Structures are given as structure tokens and as C-alpha cells.
Amino acid sequence: MSKSRKNQQRERSVQLKLNISESPVGSNSNGIADGPDRAEDLLSRLNEQRNLTETLLDKIVDYENLRKAYKQVKSNGGSAGIDGIELKEFEAWLPTHITGIVAELLNGSYKVSAVRKVSIPKAGGGTRTLGIPTLKDRMIQQAIYQELIKLYDPLQSEHSYGFRPNRNAHQAILQSSDYIASGKHWVVDIDLEKFFDTVNHDRLMQRLGKGIGDKRLLKLIAQILGSGIMANGIEEQRISGTPQGSPLSPLLSNIVLDELDRELEKRGHCFCRYADDCNIYVNSQKAGERVMTSLIDFIERKLKLKVNRQKSGVRRCDETKFLGYTILEDGAIRASDTSIDRLKYKIKQICKRNRGVTFKSLITSLNEMIVGWSNYYRLINVWLSNFKDLDGWLRRKLRCYRLKQSGKKYSVFKFLRSLGISINKSWNVVMYSQGWWKMSTKQAVSKAMGIKWFQEQGLRSLHSEISRLKR
């Protein structure tokens, strides 16, 4: 990597990490020691916390906290739970029932409803199960989260980046880049099999009991964890897992995996964890295999979780994807091959020629996707020229869509003439092209519907967006 690129990468790393306060050597930002002493310090803090949280539920059901929770649930939107109550109806229902909800929570008579089971396709194949709580339960879980995050986030590892205030995937990528640039070119990639579905409830409640003194709250959380899953009118009981779709699930998952963080810190490893996605950076393949073997034993024996051995492995950094990125040996950052494939798939779905949407609507949809994708992948600092090729491929698909939209041959001819193509060339394109895709590749068409024409239609460029965000 050139000196200028290293300096740019370092500056960006510093900028993204500014919102994580500086820590004294040997401790994290909250004064908890790293390494072997962290466990002892953490237990001491949890014990102190437990003594101070014997009436924590009273804070959770405070009307101001509930108001903030409702506001967050409303802003998140989402569909109804098993009761079928949508947001507008819930908004009208809540004011006359909030007092009763608070009373039930405080006296322990509140009943958590089952969650609605929803299966969504995963990008890599298969499906992911979501559990959608009722809006009432979502509000209560959000209220619990708002108080617990104040207590537990300061206790989390500096190596944990997922679902935490002032932390994000970009910081994890930049830290990973620093590790790799320092010479740790081998990555131990740990994949936890169906993690959110397999969290052990007994172990989780035991950990929560060490830091929460309010037994009413512990009982309520246990009820939330044990609530059934409703599918096709049949309720399935749940004995493990923290269902995705619950406002409380990410925090509880981080509490579970903090044990893994502490173990890795105790061993002195360089690592980054984002939710259940954890990468450890080592100097050699042999060291990586040794780490992998011992960690699988720890995770499955101690944490009671299961490692997906087919997806886990020890790989060179440039053969590994982490949070959609791949990092090269010199620390340079690019989009992973899988991310590019998913991007092309999204473009194909948007540009399907039988969608029947206007060309203007199509451009709007593509622009939304391009802006969102570019914002997330703005850390890319190599192989930017590939996005020029991708832009060209996208424009060709759009030419094809617009030509087909014209309909019959004479309508296509008139459209080509409107672009300034001569009569002879326009007829040649229409009469001697076999299919819309072939027609879109004709030189006259490519020239007339070139970069400038697409700019006039309002289409954004992937290459330009990423380049702009890097400045």
C-alpha cells in the first residue's frame, strides 16, 4: 500500500473511532481492565450493579421511559403481531390502557403474547425466522432495553461493535484493516449455527441474575424469552433462543457473547465481533488452526452454542468476507465478491423487463439502492474502476428496459429518432436486431443513450457515489 493510501486510511479510521472515548492502557473506555483481570473487575461491577437495581422495573415503567419506547416503536414501523393490531389502532388504544399495563407489570400479572412467526429468504440461500411481537410487547421490550443498555453497554468489550450506541460496522472493518496491515494475514472465522435460535435460556438468565437485583424484571424477561411462536394458528413453545424481531434480542445476544469476548481478551487475541459474526486475526495458519480448535471447544462446551464447521475456518484475509467487505494483505479494503453478486442480483430484480413500471420510477428505485449501497460500502479504497464496469452493465440493462417499453417496432423507431439517431440507423436497429438485449448493444443506441443521456434522466453512478463519499 502506498504511503498516501495508508495515511488516508489511518485518518478515516481515526475519524470513525472518535466517538469511542480514549482509554488508559490496559483498560477499556469504562475503566474495566482488558485481559485476564477483566473477569474479576466485571464480576465486581455486576455485583455492585445488582445491589443498585432492586427496583429497576419502576424506572422501566416510568411514563417518560414508556413514552420514549412508544416513540421508538412508532418510528421503526413494522407489521402487527398475532393480535393483528396495527400502529394506527394501537396509537388510539394506548392512552386509555397505559395505566392498566403499568399496574400489571408492577404486580407481576402481565402476560406476554406469543410472537408471530415470519420467514424471510436469506441472501445465501435458506430462510431466516423472525418473531414479531405485538406492538404492546414491543413497547415494553423497548422500555426494558432503554434501561438495560445504560447498565450493560459500559461493561461490553471494546472489540464488540454490533447493536451498541456509537458503534458500527465501519469501525469494525477499520479495526480489522489495522490488524491485517500489521501482519496478521490469517483469519479465524467463527460462524455460530442459528445463533439467535439457540441461545441457552438458563445460562442467559443466570448471567442476568448476576447484574439485575429486581426479581420482578427477571421474571418478566424470562417470560419474554419463553413466549411461544405462532404460525398458522398453532403456537410452538420455545425453550431456547432470542427471536430476531424483538427490540431486546440484540442486547441479550451481546450479553451472551460477552463471555466469548472475555475469553478472547484473556488469551490476548486480536479480534472484532459484530453480533454473532466474529473474526480473530493471527500470524499463521498453524496458529489459526490451534485457536479454532480450542474456541470450538469453549463455545460448545461452555457457552452451549453450536459452531457451524462448514462455514467456519482458517483462511487468508483476502479469501475472507466480514460484514460485506474483504480486506487485502496490505490493509486495503474492497467489497466482497458476495456483496457484488448480491448487488447485481438486486439490480436485475429492479430492472426486470416485465415489471411494468415507468422508466422514471425505475430510475428512482435504482437511485435509492445505489445511494444506500454506496453509503455502506464507502470504505472501499481499491478496485474502484470495477464500478465503472458495473455502471456500464447497469446502463445496458436500462437501455434494454427502455427499448422494450416502447413496444412495437414503429414505436421503437420513433423513440430512436427522438434520440437523434438517423432514419437509416434507426430502421437498421429495429429490423436487424434479434431481441431487446441485442438491440441495446447496437453502437447507435449506446451512443445516443450514453452517460450524458442517463445523467439527464437522473440516474446516479455507483463509481461517482463511492468516489464522492471518499473525498
What is the pLDDT, as a whole number, of residue 429?
Answer: 87
272-319 pLDDT per residue, tens:
999 999 999 999 999 999 999 999 999 999 999 999 999 999 999 999
Cβ 229 vs Cβ 238: under 8 Å: yes
Work out the pLDDT band at 25, boundaries 50, 70, 90: very low
Residue 208: which of 196, 193, 223 has the closest Cα? 223
What's the average model confidence in pLDDT over 389-415?
A: 91
**CA 205 to centroid of chain Cα atoms:** 26
What's the average model confidence in pLDDT over 249-254?
A: 93
The SS3 of residue 199 is: coil
195-212 pLDDT per residue, tens:
888 888 999 999 999 999
Give the range with max mean pLDDT: 32-36, 184-188, 245-249.
Answer: 184-188
pLDDT at 147 over 90: yes
HEC sequence for 326-374: EECCCCCEEECHHHHHHHHHHHHHHCCCCCCCCHHHHHHHHHHHHHHHH
pLDDT at 406 over 90: no
Q: What percent of the chain stands above pLDDT 90?
A: 66
385-406 and 337-350 helices, crossing angle to 10°:
20
Q: Return the C-alpha cell found at 49.
A: 450493579
The SS3 of residue 272 is: strand
Give first-to-last CA distance, the chain, whole Å: 19
27-49 pLDDT per residue, tens:
455 555 555 566 677 778 888 88
What is the average pLDDT value for the chain, to the nearest integer?
A: 88
Cβ 103 vs Cβ 217: under 8 Å: no
User: Which strands form 229-231's sheet, in the order they lie side by side?
Assistant: 127-132, 115-121, 229-231, 234-236
What's the average model confidence in pLDDT over 382-396?
A: 92
Residue 88: which of 74, 98, 68, 99 has the closest Cα? 74
What is the pLDDT, as a whole number, of residue 18?
Answer: 41
DSSP 8-state class, residue 114: P
Work out the pLDDT band at 124, boundaries 50, 70, 90: low
Question: 166-202 in b/e burial notation, b at 16+ Cβ within 10 A?
Answer: ebbbbbbbbbbbbbbbeebbbbbbbebeebbeebebe
Residue 434 CA to residue 409 CA, distance in Å, equals: 12
What is the pLDDT, as a whole number, of residue 355?
Answer: 77
Q: Return the C-alpha cell found at 267.
A: 488469551
What is the pLDDT, as a whole number, of residue 179?
Answer: 97
Q: Return the C-alpha cell found at 411.
A: 414505436
pLDDT at 19 over 60: no
What is the pLDDT, as a whole number, of residue 32?
Answer: 59
The SS3 of residue 131 is: strand
Name the β-bridge partners of 333: 327
Residue 341 CA to residue 352 CA, distance in Å, equals: 16
Q: Return the C-alpha cell found at 207.
A: 448471567
What's the average model confidence in pLDDT over 399-407?
A: 89
Residue 58: which of 102, 90, 91 has the closest Cα? 102
CA angle 226, 251, 265 (to 5 degrees): 120
H/E run at residue 286: helix 285-301
| Amino acid, single-letter form, for residue 264 | L
444 or 128: which leads in pLDDT: 444
pLDDT at 22 over 50: no
What is the pLDDT, as a whole number, of residue 341?
Answer: 95
pLDDT at 24 over 50: no
Q: What percent of the chain stands above pLDDT 70?
A: 90
What is the pLDDT, as a whole number, of residue 229?
Answer: 82
Task: Tell me the C-alpha to C-alpha distance, in Å, between residue 34 and each of 25, 26, 38, 122, 433.
Answer: 9, 6, 5, 36, 68
Cβ 327 vs Cβ 318: under 8 Å: yes
Work out the pLDDT band at 423, boundaries 50, 70, 90: very high
pLDDT at 244 over 90: no
Residue 230 CA to residue 227 CA, distance in Å, equals: 10
